[in-house]
């Protein structure tokens, strides 16, 4: 048996604003699937932006932990995040474990991290291709 990650749900407040952020930053477009759901295909895993207030009247807080995105052009993604005015690190950093990345928050307050896709996890250590 094999498994793969199918969908990640991010709770949002203000679907249009958060949708615009992800479409701009990731340079991807998605699809409105219901009044409070917007799906973006991120390489086979669906990023589901979910506005529970609009969908079923519930208030849902942002995720407590980061969602990590592997991106092919980290510098360009960093520039686009900065252009949105979102809260983010001041610079891209290389972590002690070798990961080149930066942290941000989307307009709904969800913590996210963008990682250079060239960073390869190799069982307890990272290597660069």
- 67-121 confidence digits (pLDDT tens): 999 999 999 999 999 999 999 999 999 988 788 999 999 999 999 999 999 886 6
CATH class of the region 7-128:
alpha beta
* Token pair listed for 75: 């510098």
CA distance linking residue 81 with residue 105, whole number of Å: 9
> What pLDDT sits at residue 121?
64
Q: In the chain, count of helices (H) and strands (E)?
A: 3, 10
> What pLDDT sits at residue 120?
64
pLDDT tens digit string along 9-37?
A: 999 999 999 999 999 999 999 999 999 99
* In contact, 11 and 52? CB cutoff 8 Å: yes
Phi-psi region of 47 (alpha: psi -120 to 50; beta: other; left: phi over 0): beta
pLDDT mean over 63-67? 96
Name the pTM for this structure. Answer: 0.90
């Amino acid at each position: 048996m094999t498994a793969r990650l199918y969908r990640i749900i991010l709770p949002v407040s203000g679907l249009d604003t958060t949708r615009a952020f992800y479409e701009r930053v990731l340079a991807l477009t998605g699809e409105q699937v219901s009044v409070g759901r917007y799906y973006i295909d991120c390489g086979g895993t669906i990023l589901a932006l979910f506005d529970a207030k609009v969908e079923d009247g519930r208030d849902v807080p942002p995720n407590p932990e980061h969602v990590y995105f592997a991106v092919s052009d980290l510098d360009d993604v960093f520039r686009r995040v900065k252009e949105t005015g979102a809260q983010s690190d001041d610079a891209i950093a290389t972590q002690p474990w070798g990961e080149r990345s930066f942290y941000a928050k989307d307009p709904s307050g969800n913590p996210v991290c963008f990682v250079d896709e060239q960073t390869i996890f190799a069982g307890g250590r990272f290597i660069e291709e």
